[in-house]
């Protein structure tokens, strides 16, 4: 399933990331996956949370600039070569992966990998055609 990812644009200064997590904590929003990409001047924090609408409202109220994106959260077996098999599946079906990161969650013997693909609907179709399911909500 496709899930909502929140991107938060941050100045690259000390404490700015902690302000985001404080807003989430004060609003009882739980982080499920997190990654940050940065440049010299700013960063883009990408998060998956348990209550995205609540998080968006709280972040906007705190004057953070946000954007939402659909991503795929896919359970991948925690064994040697499993990630390669998933990437090869996308490659064989011409699904362009823009970026990936891992979730803080585990589901039994699987890790949850977040895939940002160029066409989420096509990516989901490939997963389903191959007997794989995504996570609908954390």
Mean pLDDT over each residue of the chain, to the nearest integer: 90
Question: Are 6 and 61 part of one and the same domain?
Answer: yes
Of 19, 48, 69, the residue that ends a domain is 69
pLDDT at 6 over 80: yes
Question: Are 65 and 117 part of one and the same domain?
Answer: no
Question: Are 81 and 31 part of one and the same domain?
Answer: no
Q: Looking at the domain assignment, is residue 135 inside a domain?
A: no
* Boundaries of domain holding 35: 2-69
Q: Looking at the domain assignment, is residue 93 inside a domain?
A: yes
Total domains present in the chain: 2
Question: Are 22 and 81 part of one and the same domain?
Answer: no
The pTM score is 0.86
Q: Is the Cβ–Cβ distance between 115 and 35 less than 8 Å?
A: no
Residue 103 buriedness (CB in 10 A; 0-12 / 13-18 / 19+): buried
15-63 residue pLDDT tens: 889 999 999 999 999 999 999 988 777 899 999 999 999 999 999 999 9
Q: Looking at the domain assignment, is residue 138 inside a domain?
A: no
């Amino acid at each position: 399933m496709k899930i909502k990812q929140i991107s938060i644009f941050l100045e690259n200064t000390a404490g700015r990331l902690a302000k985001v997590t404080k807003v989430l904590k004060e609003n009882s929003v739980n982080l499920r996956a997190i990654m940050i990409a940065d440049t010299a001047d700013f960063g883009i924090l990408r998060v998956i949370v348990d209550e995205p609408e609540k998080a968006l409202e709280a972040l906007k109220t705190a004057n953070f600039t946000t954007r939402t994106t659909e991503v795929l959260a896919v359970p991948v077996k925690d064994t040697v070569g499993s990630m390669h098999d998933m990437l090869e599946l996308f490659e064989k079906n011409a699904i362009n992966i823009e970026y990936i990161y891992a979730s803080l969650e585990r589901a039994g013997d699987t890790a949850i990998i977040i895939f940002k693909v160029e066409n989420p609907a096509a990516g989901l179709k490939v997963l389903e055609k191959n007997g794989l399911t995504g996570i609908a909500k954390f």
